[in-house]
Amino acid sequence: MTEKLNVEQMAARLSAAEDLVVVCHKNPDGDTIGCGCALYHALAALGKNAAVLCSDPIPARYDYMGARHYDGSYEPKTVVAVDIAGVQLFGEGNHVPELTRHVDLCIDHHAGNTGYADFTLLDDTAAATAELLIDVIETLGVAVTPQIADCLYTGLSTDTGCFKFSSTTARTHMVAARLIQAGARIEDLNKLLFDTKSPQRMAAERRALDNLEYHFGGRCALIYLTRDEIAESGVESADLEDLTGLPLTIEGVQVGLTLRQQPGGSCRISVRTVKGMDACAIAKRLGGGGHNRAAGCELEGNLENAKSAILAEVEAELSAQEETECRGS
C-alpha cells in the first residue's frame, strides 16, 4: 500500500532526496514530459543530481524543455514517477524495468492510480499533473522560471486540448495565468502544440476526407484509411491518433468512426460519441473497450466487412438511444 502525501509532505520528501531519476510514462505525452522536465529543473535549481528517464524516445518537438536525460552515469537513490497511473505504463526501453523495480515517489492526477509507489501525491481533480506540480515546485522554494513555466504550460495545455476539454476547471485557468506571469511563451507553444501538422499528416487527412461517408441520416460519420493510403501519405501511426476526433466535429453527428487498416490487414476502429451516446457499448460488442465517449476495437477481415460490422452496432446503439428518448418523453 502506498502512503498518500499532501503537497507539503511531497515537497519535504523531494527536499531530502539525493541522486534522483524522474520517470515519464511510455508513449510520452506533453503532460508527463512537461512534468518530468519541470521537476528536473526544480531539483537542479536546488543543486541536486537528477535526470529524466523515459522508456521511449522523447519526440523532438519537445526539445525546448531542455532537461538532462538519464545516461546511466550515476546510481539513482530516489525514483520519482510523474503522471504514471500504473506500472504497466512504465514501458520496456532504456533500462526502465530495472530502474523502476522500486518507485519511491509518485505525483499524478489519474483517478485510477494503482498506488505502486511508496509515497503518492494524487489529485484527480487536477486536469493535468502539471496543475498539481506547480504547487510542489513553489513549496520547494524554487522560483518558476520561464523554462519551468514552458514545461508546465505544455502539460497543462496538452492534457486539456488547450483548455477545451471538460476536465478544464477554474483552477486550470488560474494555473495558466500563473505560468504566463512566470514567463511561459504561450504564443510559440500554442502554435507548436496545436497548430502544426506534418505535410504527411495533412496528406493523410486529405485522403480520409475523400473517404468521408455519412450514415443513418447524418447521425454517424465515418472516415477510413486503407493500408496503401497510409503508406503513400508517409504519415507515422502516432500522428494519426487525433484524426479520430474529426468525424465528430461535423454538425449533427452523434457517432464518429475512424477505420485504419493495419499493416497485417486487420482494421483498427475508433469510436467517438457525443454526450449521452455510449461509445464503449458499441466497441464492446465487437470485442473492444474504452471510455464512455471514446472507445475502440480491432477487427480481422477486409475493410468492407469491418465497416458493415461496426455500422450495424452503431445502428443498434442509435435505435436504443431513440427508444430511451421516447420512454423519457
Least distance between its own copies and beta carbon 218 (Å): 7
Least distance between its own copies and beta carbon 292 (Å): 13
Residue 300 sits at φ, ψ, to 5 deg, of -80, 170
Residues 159-198 that bind its own copies (CB under 8 A): 162-166, 168-174, 176-178, 180-181, 186-187, 190-191, 194-198
Least distance between its own copies and beta carbon 254 (Å): 12
Residue range at the interface with its own copies (CB under 8 A); choices 68-76, 101-109, 201-209, 297-305: 201-209
DSSP string, 62-127: GGGG-PPBP-SSS--SEEEEES--SGGGS-SSTTHHHHTSS--EEEE--TT----SSEEEE-TTSS
Q: Is 125 in the site for its own copies (CB under 8 A)?
A: no
**CA–CA separation, 163 and 320 (whole Å):** 33
Whether 58 contacts 6, CB under 8 Å: no
Residues 256-295 that bind its own copies (CB under 8 A): 274-275
Least distance between its own copies and beta carbon 219 (Å): 12
Sheet of 20-23, strand order? 3-4, 119-122, 105-108, 78-82, 20-23, 50-53
Would residue 276 be called left, alpha or beta, if left means φ above 0 and alpha means ψ between -120 and 50 degrees? left
Least distance between its own copies and beta carbon 201 (Å): 8
Q: Is 150 in the site for its own copies (CB under 8 A)?
A: no
Q: Is 75 in the site for its own copies (CB under 8 A)?
A: no
Which of 180, 312 has the CB closer to its own copies?
A: 180
119: number of Cβ within 10 Å: 17
Residues interacting with its own copies, by CB under 8 A?
162-166, 168-174, 176-178, 180-181, 186-187, 190-191, 194-199, 202, 205-206, 209-210, 212, 214, 218, 245, 248-252, 274-275
